[in-house]
Amino acid sequence: MPLTLATVPCLEDNYAFLIANDAGEAALVDAPEAAPINAELEKRGWSLKTVLLTHHHWDHVEGLDSLTGRDDLTVIGAKADEHRLPTLDHAYSDGDSFTLLGEEVQVFDVSGHTLGHIAFYLPASGLVFSGDSLMALGCGRLFEGSPELMHDSMNKFATLPETTLVCSGHEYTASNGRFAATVDPDNKALALRNIETAKIRAQGGFTVPSTLALERATNPFLRANEPSIKSAIGLPNATDKESFTKLRAMKDAF
Q: Which residues bind Fe ion (CB under 5 A)?
A: 59, 132, 169
| C-alpha torsion sign, points 223, 229, 235, 237 | positive
Restricting to residues 174-203, name those near Zn ion by CB under 5 A. Answer: none
Given Zn ion, Fe ion, none, residue 30, with its beta carbon under 5 to 8 Å by kind, binds none
- Interface pick for Zn ion out of 81, 109, 132, 215 (rule CB under 5 A): 132
Three-state secondary structure call for residue 52: strand
DSSP string, 15-33: EEEEEE-TT-EEEEE--S-
DSSP string, 55-102: ---HHHHTTGGGSTTGGG-EEEEEGGGGGGSSPPSEEE-TT-EEEETT
- Interface pick for Zn ion out of 56, 57, 223, 230 (rule CB under 5 A): 57
- Residue number, 143 or 254, with CB nearest to Fe ion: 143
Task: Name the minimum Å distance from CB 93 to Zn ion.
Answer: 19
Task: Name the minimum Å distance from CB 113 to Zn ion.
Answer: 6
Given Fe ion, Zn ion, none, residue 103, with its beta carbon under 5 to 8 Å by kind, binds none
Task: Name the minimum Å distance from CB 57 to Fe ion.
Answer: 5
Let me know the angle formed at the C-alpha of 225 by 219 and 226, rounded to the nearest 5 degrees. 75
Instruction: Confirm or reject binding of residue 56 to Zn ion (CB under 5 A).
Output: no
Given Fe ion, Zn ion, none, residue 81, with its beta carbon under 5 to 8 Å by kind, binds none
- Residue number, 40 or 59, with CB nearest to Zn ion: 59
Given Fe ion, Zn ion, none, residue 209, with its beta carbon under 5 to 8 Å by kind, binds none
Q: How far apart are CA 74 and CA 87, in angstroms?
A: 10
Task: Name the minimum Å distance from CB 55 to Zn ion.
Answer: 6
Q: How far apart are CA 72 and CA 114, in angstroms?
A: 28
Rg (CA), the chain: 18
Helices (H), 138-183: 147-158, 173-183
- Residue number, 55 or 246, with CB nearest to Fe ion: 55
Instruction: Confirm or reject binding of residue 170 to Zn ion (CB under 5 A).
Output: no
- Per CB under 5 A, residues contacting Zn ion are 57, 132
